[in-house]
Chains A and B, each alone.
Chain A
């Protein structure tokens, strides 16, 4: 009897209402949050680029000369008619929908400030679609080649500019001496030792390097005449980069290709550097940028051409350069009023000013780049070092174990301390006690390093702990020392996680203002810092100061441009770090 019941009544039903409610509530909350953030960013971008004043004709021109060809390129790379059809439907349908909705809201509800329907269309349809098609286009060979090439060029330029920026503060003469007497001989010795079977030379290399660098630091004061910056950068950066490129390509594609890949960018860089100097542009910076971009592109080109696939992708840079040029010509000939963006070249290269139109962010950008570079190096080295020590070197029991646990709990708590308190600590410790000065690059960098150190330590510990013990035991059983196990097995496995933690922490450091205010960083400086001890400002400080100005041009335009710049730098940094992490993940 009892066995009959289920077959007649089915199995009954189990209520899932709570789960479903939870699912939709959390989905709704995340969508609402993202939407709010998205709208905010749209307004910031509209202000920064003055899109409210962009005429529909202006937008249409660039849409046709730049966006449509690029989307066509992506679709060509995908090579799937259904995707093309859907993309066209999204563009067309989106146009009707956005325009209709926009006009509807404006007429029946209320006017939408500082937006018009073409701009809304740009943000709601065109930008997301472009991002999506870039993503799927990158899966195809043609798209991957094109975007890879652009990536090499942009990456090379960013590194080059960052190097140039760092030498505003760091002494290039010390670097010149250190390279000539330390780095160069050490590397040469090491390479020589690798070629011939004399391992003595290989062990001597680090010693030679360290001695050379120390020598350089002492010799800096006694030597008084130095080659020009252009020659220094040529000898210490451009030539080594070219040699590395030449080696890479020679190993894959033979001598001729190697010499071309190393030589052509170097020649271009030298020519560019000298010519730029004669017309008043910063020659050394241009030399470094051209050398890095050129070599990265050359090495990439050789590989692509060797593979022989997706060569059409190499046209992408042409497309991206020609599009805006044609657009500018059309706009000029047509006489269409163009928007006047706050975020333009002048904003990035000029000093702050009382006058909103002339205001620039350059000193603050330089300040931020320098702080980030120092903070990244310091917190990465200290954080990973401490995490390795805590995880791999301390005993778990006994007095040491107890001490470690206490330390551990304290580090976790330090991560939760408000940043103002770190500012106070920096003020007391670095500015006053150690006398590093109020608001100097060094004080600020050390304070921010301290601020994010707990986060880097904890996340690095987490990453190290997630490496399975069986790898350690395997390595130990092979007769590896603790250090060899850590270096060869644990750290490579933990590196992606460590990088993720460091990225997040750096993201926090770059946006901080409270500790900067506490240690006395200037809100506004009018020239880029030229030493570690000069007064300087950072992007968030400068933006904060502008937000307080009475003129609305500052509060809307200049602040928006600053925020946009800060975001782009942040995204660029995180993007690079994510690429590095993915590479590390693939490597293991």
Chain B
């Protein structure tokens, strides 16, 4: 909590000085460390019934960076992702302890409306899931449910451009989103997620159902998205994590966050032997 607040202050304090410009210039250069935290977990424990899926996780996720969550299957990566936009609320037996801070507030506070929260956090799923509606209606969905009436077409176009899909579909905006190829569908889902202009985008293995060419397009896109959004991506593809992320968190079985550092550090010189074993393929 305090962490986020002080950082907010730093930024607003310096907003009219020259240094800010530098800081902002630096922020676009993603190799430099981000100065602000977008999402933070504090002593987070998640249970499904009696089974623990996330064990005492504490981490700060930087703003406008790509943070990758890697780890073997079943180690709780998706569960962690879903705690951030409270999609776990949909699972009856799921119980969350600890805090997840976003926008200077614990999203599990009783006065937080999960529906309102999700309007600020976009999500892209493993299997592309465009709605059985036209491409236009898919992208405009978030705008529609939030009651935006003006400039819908312009925002649809902008979001499709943002998802690097516009050129391919501009002549068929009224045809069904389900008629697109898998990779295009996934980019449509990304366009849908960014249309209401969220702050954070969560991606749960967004390329694992796609062929390599489509996957690499999405990877390029993720790189661009980090200019404007905080991207948190779950992947089981280590090369992918190494290629696209700035920070990497390694979860291991039992829902433990074993190591969390700059991506380069994790892949070149991890502190933990278990992480090194996992990355080099000795287990997992």
Contacts and interface: CB of A to CB of B under 8 A. Distances in A.
B87 A473 contact: yes
Tell which of B85, B141, B146, B193 has the most Cβ of chain A within 10 Å.
Answer: B141
A306 to B, nearest CB: 19
A493 B129 CA distance: 14
A470 B127 contact: yes
Given A395-B92, A588-B133, A479 B127 contact: no
Interface residues of A, number: 25
A447 to B, nearest CB: 38
Given A197-B149, A396-B92, A488-B145, A478 B119 contact: yes
Contacts of B116: 479
A479 B142 contact: yes
Contacts of A335: none
B206 interface: no
Interface in B168-214: 176, 189, 192-193, 196
Interface residues of B, number: 33
Contact of A489 (B123, B131, B189, B193): B131
Nearest to A194: B149
A481 B115 contact: yes
A474 B125 contact: yes
B265 interface: no
A481 B146 CA distance: 10
B120 to A, nearest CB: 8
B273 interface: no
Please report whether the interface of chain A is mostly helix, strand, loop or mixed according to DSSP. Answer: helix
Contacts of B90: 473, 476
B119 A479 contact: yes
A480 interface: yes
Contact of A199 (B119, B130, B149, B193): B149
Contacts of A476: 87, 90, 118
Nearest to A588: B132
Contact of A479 (B125, B129, B146): B146
A475 interface: yes
Interface string A485-519: 00011001100000000000000000000000000
Tell which of A396, A478, A492 has the most Cβ of chain B within 10 Å.
Answer: A478
Contacts of B147: 199
Interface in B91-144: 92-93, 115-120, 122-123, 125, 127, 129-133, 141-142, 144
Nearest to A480: B145
B92 A474 contact: no
A218 to B, nearest CB: 34
Tell which of A401, A476, A492, A588 has the most Cβ of chain B within 10 Å.
Answer: A476
Contact of A474 (B85, B129, B144, B176): B129
Interface of B: 85, 87, 90, 92-93, 115-120, 122-123, 125, 127, 129-133, 141-142, 144-147, 149-150, 176, 189, 192-193, 196
20 contacts: A470-B125, A470-B127, A470-B129, A473-B125, A476-B87, A477-B87, A477-B118, A478-B193, A479-B115, A479-B116, A479-B117, A479-B118, A479-B120, A479-B196, A480-B115, A480-B141, A480-B145, A481-B115, A488-B144, A588-B176
Interface of A: 197, 199, 395-398, 401, 468, 470-471, 473-481, 484, 488-489, 492-493, 588
Given A396-B92, A397-B93, 17 more contacts: A197-B149, A468-B129, A471-B132, A473-B125, A474-B129, A475-B131, A475-B145, A477-B118, A477-B123, A477-B193, A478-B119, A479-B116, A479-B120, A479-B142, A488-B141, A488-B144, A489-B131
